[in-house]
């Protein structure tokens, strides 16, 4: 299996852990009406120029508006879709695109000095509320309206393992490992603003690397949201294997760049 297919298979498995997928001749519809504000859970996925762009756009708008969800598209292989993107804009969609680095772990657990002020725990019912508090205070995650239900769904899915980092006993960072077959993907890595700049993310990554070794995963992936974050992972055992250009078209509301303050 080539790298693109591995990444797509893992991505679809991740998406289907919290949303429903309907295959279409032109791509797929992802939906979860219980989480209407969660973009990843509610979007049309296209990776090629559709034969009938107007029909696809009409179908997507009708489908999501029937669920009272803002219609949106996630687009891949943008070099093959300039006409479709132009049609989306003509139909009133806002559009933004991104460079999406894909990084792969080198299978060596990073060596970091022990920090006596730091503890890392797996998330259980005992510390669930503390981990949720952290995730709901990360604006890049979309806030409480998005993460509260999503976190509960992930916690109840045994393919996810969440980690909570505390600094001097205070919850401040989280991360999770999603496992599908012999592959893993790191998700939801973040620190509340007050504690940023202390190197805490490296310690979480070290913990997840140890977990990946214990599980004997063949590959461990991460999709950093920015060049700055990509550099953090690069310093902690991850190498960029390719960079994808992806698009996001949405009929109303905020763009991903605005939410993540890119």
Helix (DSSP H) and strand (DSSP E) numbers for the chain: 8, 11
Closest CA to 221 of 190, 173, 183: 183
Same domain flag for 92 and 192 = no
Range of the domain at 111: 104-240
Same domain flag for 33 and 122 = no
Provide mean pLDDT across the span 232-243: 95
Residue 1 clears pLDDT 80, i.e. is over it: no
Q: Which has the higher per-residue pLDDT, 82 or 145? A: 82
How confident is the model at residue 143, as a pLDDT? Answer: 79
Residue 182 clears pLDDT 80, i.e. is over it: yes
Please state, rounded to an integer, the average pLDDT across all residues of the chain.
Answer: 94
Same domain flag for 109 and 67 = no
Same domain flag for 118 and 210 = yes
How confident is the model at residue 51, as a pLDDT? Answer: 94
How confident is the model at residue 168, as a pLDDT? Answer: 95
How confident is the model at residue 93, as a pLDDT? Answer: 98
Q: Worst-scoring range by mean pLDDT, 138-142, 168-172, 184-188? A: 138-142
Q: Which has the higher per-residue pLDDT, 262 or 154? A: 154
Positive or negative, the CA dihedral 105, 109, 112, 118 is positive
3-state secondary structure of 173: strand
Same domain flag for 217 and 118 = yes
Do the Cβ atoms of 7 and 221 come closer than 8 Å?
Answer: yes
Same domain flag for 36 and 135 = no
Provide mean pLDDT across the span 136-141: 84
79-110 core/surface letters (b: 16 or more CB in 10 A; e: else): eebeebbebbeeeebeeeebeebbbbbeeebb
Domains contained in the chain, number: 2
- At 112, which CATH number? 3.40.630.30
Give kind and range of the element (H or E) at residue 94.
strand 94-105
Same domain flag for 139 and 250 = no
Residue 168 has, within 13 A of its CA and on its CB side, a CA count of: 2
Percent of the chain scoring above 90 in pLDDT: 84
Confidence tier at 151 by pLDDT (50, 70, 90):
very high
Q: Which has the higher per-residue pLDDT, 143 or 56? A: 56
Confidence tier at 73 by pLDDT (50, 70, 90):
very high
Q: Where are the alpha helices (DSSP H) in the chain?
A: 3-15, 53-66, 82-90, 128-136, 144-155, 200-214, 227-234, 256-260
Q: Which has the higher per-residue pLDDT, 260 or 119? A: 119
Write out pLDDT tens, residues 81-125: 999 999 999 999 999 999 999 999 999 999 998 889 999 999 999
Percent of the chain scoring above 70 in pLDDT: 99
Q: What is the CA radius of gyration of the chain?
A: 19
Same domain flag for 158 and 32 = no
Same domain flag for 217 and 249 = no
Write out pLDDT tens, residues 27-66: 999 999 999 999 999 999 999 999 999 999 999 999 999 9
Closest CA to 59 of 40, 31, 96: 31
Same domain flag for 116 and 22 = no
Strand partners, 191: 173
Residue 141 clears pLDDT 90, i.e. is over it: no
How confident is the model at residue 202, as a pLDDT? Answer: 95
Same domain flag for 156 and 192 = yes
Q: CB neighbours of 85 closer than 8 A, spacing ≥ 6?
A: 75, 78, 95, 247, 249
Same domain flag for 145 and 61 = no
Q: What is the pTM of this model?
A: 0.90
Residue 5 clears pLDDT 90, i.e. is over it: no
How confident is the model at residue 262, as a pLDDT? Answer: 57
């Amino acid at each position: 299996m080539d790298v693109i297919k591995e990444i797509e298979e893992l991505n679809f498995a991740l998406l289907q852990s919290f949303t429903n997928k309907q295959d279409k001749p032109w791509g797929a519809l992802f939906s979860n009406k219980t989480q209407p504000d969660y973009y990843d859970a509610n979007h049309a996925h296209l990776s090629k120029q559709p034969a009938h762009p107007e029909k696809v756009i009409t179908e997507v708008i009708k489908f999501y508006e029937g669920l009272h969800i803002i219609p949106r598209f996630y687009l891949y292989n943008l070099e093959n879709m300039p006409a479709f993107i132009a049609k989306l804009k003509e139909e009133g969609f806002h559009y933004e695109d991104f460079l999406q680095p894909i990084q792969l772990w080198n299978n060596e657990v990073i060596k970091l000095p022990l920090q006596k002020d730091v503890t890392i725990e797996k998330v259980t019912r005992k510390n669930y509320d503390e981990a949720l508090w952290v995730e709901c205070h990360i604006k890049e995650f979309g806030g409480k309206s998005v993460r509260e239900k999503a976190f509960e769904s992930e916690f109840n899915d045994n393919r996810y393992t969440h980690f909570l980092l505390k600094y001097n006993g205070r919850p401040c960072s989280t991360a999770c490992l999603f496992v599908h077959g012999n592959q893993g993907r790191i998700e939801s890595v973040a620190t509340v603003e007050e504690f940023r700049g202390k190197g805490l993310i490296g310690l979480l990554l070290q913990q997840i690397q140890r977990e990946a070794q214990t599980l004997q995963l063949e590959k461990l992936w991460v999709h950093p949201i920015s060049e700055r974050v990509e550099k953090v992972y690069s310093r902690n055992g991850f190498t960029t294997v390719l960079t994808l250009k992806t698009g996001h078209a949405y009929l109303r509301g905020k763009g991903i760049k605005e939410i993540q303050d890119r």
